[in-house]
Structure 1
Amino acid sequence: MALRPNPTLRQRRLGTELRRMREQAGLGGSQLARELGIQPAQITQMESGKSGISVERLRTIAAVCMCTNQPLIDALADMASERTKGWWEEYRSTLTIDFLEVAELEGHTKRITFCNTVYIPGLLQTGTYASAVFTRLVPPLPPQEVETRTTFRLRRQELVRSGTTPLRAFVHEAALRMQFGGPVVLADQLASLLDDSERPGISVRVVPFAVDTFPGAGENLTYIEGPVPELDTVEMDVSQGALFFDSPANLAKHRIIFSSLDSTALTDEQSRDFIRSIMKEVKSTYA
């Protein structure tokens, strides 16, 4: 079987979990290879995501590594048996890999939680607002690139607008006031955010300036829950693109951050009132 030149994020994650399983058992790659009767290079290829793995071999590896976490093993088996490509693959030749990997994570999540300090979460943005966010990048993007990115972002929204994937958004007051495209665009965005907050499965919680402390370092974060907690992923937006974290220590840290947000943010109803008050202020600037 030919090796994958560019394994997807999900294929790489499966390999990462196999490596973790092996290391927790105290086995080296060569030791595991001997137990399986294969070449050490094949272990390296599986753990890098460059080669696939059958469900049978995965369960054999779990047994050799003395892994007794059956829910995790079953979830990894499901990943190993996947053959269907996601809709995001249509964009592989037109968008950077970060866009595809975020959509891939969202396409397999159990629940998504956002923490945004600069702009409204992408899955809740209007088309005009999203276009303004992409337009302000330096150096500027060509108009066609802005349109493609905006279309891709709106298509991602079908995931939560359908009500099949629960979404929680902790939005800092700064993100509610930051203008992309001017006050009219912002007012329309806030109105859309209010409408979305009333949809089944969507929760929007505001963190006002008045809150004493703000957990974390202030980056825009997304916590993507997998079928089992071990397969959760944290995505962080940075100027260079998206960073992904999945180590147990990083997941534990960010669970604490989101738990703190849950205890300090306004309630859903209080948040709607807060958003309405800001929308009223914004509208007064162009009345």
Structure 2
Amino acid sequence: MPPRLNPTLRQRRIGAELRKMREAAGLQTVNLSRALGIDRTQVSQMESGKIGVSPERLRSFAAACKCTNMPLIEALESMVQDRSKGWWEEYRGSLPDGILENAELEKRSDGLMMWLLTHMPGPCQTINYASSVFGRVFPPLPRHELEARTAFRMQRKADLRRNPKPLTAFIYESVLWTRFGGTQILKEQLGSLLEDSELPWMTIRVVPFDVETFPGAAENLAYAFGSVPELDTVERELSQGPEYVDAVNELASYRYIFERTESVALSTSNSRDLISKIARDL
């Protein structure tokens, strides 16, 4: 089969983990290709996600790299055996790949933590609020794309409610005051956020204005937990699209940022009180 032109997020991650194995073993591509009895181009294509990896090839690759991390190997084996297509594939070609990868990361994670500086958590957005957030983009999106992005956002929200997983959202207080679409839409959104905060699998905590400072990141973040810690992923929301981080040291840094954020955030009860007060004061 010819190499894939656009590997999915999952396919690229499998390749990235293979590359990490090889680099940890101190092997060059040419050395590993000889050990596996394949062309060095195939090793490069596997590491970039451009060609598939069978469970047998995965284990041979790990053995050649002297990798003994069995939980990681088994988790990767499960990933390579999963050939299912996600619901987001119906949007491929009509929405940017980065938006589809948001849904893929969300769907395939075991749990999520979020840090929001600019807007409400995606899984909590009402349709009017989501449309207003996408409507702020400059230059303005064509109407059909605005509607497609809003529909996609709502489908992500619905899918997460059908298949819930632990989700913690840390929200900076400024988000609760920012009136995307106007006061009425924000009041509706705050009411919906309060309802979501009562869901058993969702935790909403506000970082208030009166903390001395908040740690680390100055952009929206999503920390997606993998089936093993090595497969965790951080999504950084940038103006040009999402950026995904999986380097071990960077993951450790972001875990620390979230730990510090948790230490300054209000409790869930006090967060609900503040959200309610802001809704009344609007």
TM range (shorter): over 0.9
The Cα of 1:102 is off from its aligned counterpart by 0.9
Deviations 1:224-252 (A, max 9, x none): 11111111111111111111111111101
Q: Is the 8 A contact 2:103 2:156 kept in 1?
A: yes
Q: Distance in 2 between matches of 1:166 and 1:136?
A: 30
Matches within 5 A, 1:1-287: 1-162=1-162, 164-282=164-282
Q: Distance in 2 between matches of 1:238 and 1:5?
A: 24
User: Which stretch has the larger CA shift, 14-23 or 217-226?
Assistant: 217-226
Q: Distance in 1 between matches of 2:32 and 2:159?
A: 40
The Cα of 1:136 is off from its aligned counterpart by 1.0
The Cα of 1:277 is off from its aligned counterpart by 0.4
TM-score under structure 1 length normalisation: 0.96
Q: Distance in 2 between matches of 1:163 and 1:58?
A: 29
Q: Distance in 2 between matches of 1:243 and 1:26?
A: 27
The Cα of 1:159 is off from its aligned counterpart by 3.6
Aligned AA (2:197): S
Question: Per the alignment, in what secondary structure is the counterpart of residue 72 of structure 1?
Answer: helix
User: Which stretch has the larger CA shift, 134-143 or 185-194?
Assistant: 134-143
Question: Per the alignment, in what secondary structure is the counterpart of residue 200 of structure 2?
Answer: coil
Q: Distance in 2 between matches of 1:147 and 1:54?
A: 39
Q: Distance in 1 between matches of 2:101 and 2:163?
A: 22
Question: Per the alignment, in what secondary structure is the counterpart of residue 157 of structure 1?
Answer: helix
Q: Is the 8 A contact 2:222 2:235 kept in 1?
A: yes
Deviations 1:61-96 (A, max 9, x none): 111111111110011111111211100000001100
Deviations 1:137-182 (A, max 9, x none): 1000111111110010011112432352111000000111111000
Q: Distance in 1 between matches of 2:191 and 2:5?
A: 45
Percent identical among aligned pairs is 52
Q: Is the 8 A contact 1:120 1:171 kept in 2?
A: yes
Aligned AA (1:59): R
Q: Distance in 2 between matches of 1:38 and 1:217?
A: 43
Q: Is the 8 A contact 1:159 1:165 kept in 2?
A: no
Question: Per the alignment, in what secondary structure is the counterpart of residue 119 of structure 1?
Answer: coil
The list of structure 1 runs, each at least 4 consecutive aligned residues, that deviate by more than 6 angstroms after superposition, is none
Aligned AA (1:106): E
Q: Is the 8 A contact 1:15 1:48 kept in 2?
A: yes
1:132/1:185 Cα in 2 relative to 1: closer, same or farther (>3 Å)?
A: same
The count of residues paired between Structure 1 and Structure 2 equals 282
Q: Distance in 2 between matches of 1:159 and 1:229?
A: 24
The Cα of 1:30 is off from its aligned counterpart by 0.7
Aligned AA (1:54): S
Aligned AA (2:15): G
Unaligned runs of 5+ in 2: none
Q: Distance in 2 between matches of 1:196 and 1:167?
A: 11
Q: Is the 8 A contact 1:171 1:207 kept in 2?
A: yes
Q: Distance in 2 between matches of 1:217 and 1:75?
A: 29
Unaligned runs of 5+ in 1: 283-287
Q: Distance in 2 between matches of 1:277 and 1:164?
A: 28
Q: Is the 8 A contact 1:119 1:175 kept in 2?
A: yes
Aligned AA (1:109): S
User: Which stretch has the larger CA shift, 264-273 or 209-218?
Assistant: 209-218
Q: Distance in 2 between matches of 1:276 and 1:4?
A: 50
Q: Is the 8 A contact 1:4 1:51 kept in 2?
A: yes
Aligned AA (1:176): L
Q: Is the 8 A contact 1:112 1:168 kept in 2?
A: yes
Question: Per the alignment, in what secondary structure is the counterpart of residue 5 of structure 1?
Answer: coil
